[in-house]
Amino acid sequence: MKKTIALIAHDGKKPEMVAFVKDHQDLLEHAHIIATGTTGSYVRQTGLPVELKLSGPMGGDAQIAALAAEGKVDGIIFFRDPLGKHAHEPDIQMLMRVCDLYNVPLATNPATGSLIIEGLLEDLVD
């Protein structure tokens, strides 16, 4: 069964997310990718299939948190914009809390994101 990886990026971090996905495309091809709506539309530019959830401010972070709580997400890469303010900050905090509660790997920067991708997917590739 494929590992499910969730990708989320705030607006200021979307180009960084696309670059990150391109850098790890050979591994991510072996995963089931889900993403908040706008992030996922960007990531689809790489040609990888992405299951789109709602946009973050419209409940997408909450949808991914619910999947994490149900054990349906193997790892989350969430590039937050440390300079931005977000109306849905409670959802963002809730997602991070759920990851801690259920011990779901969560990366908030590319360095940790690489470790998660490699740790979860590397042995699936010859």
Least gap, CB of 80 to ligand 13P (angstroms): 7
Question: Is 10 within any annotated ligand binding site?
Answer: yes
Of the candidates 54, 58, 52, 53, which has an alpha carbon nearest to the alpha carbon of residue 88? 58
Quick check: 56 binds ligand 13P (CB under 6 A)? Answer: yes
Q: Does 55 bind ligand 13P (CB under 6 A)?
A: yes
Q: Using the rule CB under 6 A, which residue among 13, 21, 28, 60 binds ligand 13P?
A: 60
DSSP letters spanning 33-91: EEE-HHHHHHHGGGT---EE---GGGTHHHHHHHHHHTT--SEEEEE--TT---TTHHH
Least distance between ligand 13P and beta carbon 11 (Å): 6
Residue 76 bridge partners (DSSP): 6, 106
- Please give the size of the binding site for ligand 13P, defined by CB under 6 A: 12
Annotated binding site: 10, 14, 36-39, 55-56, 88
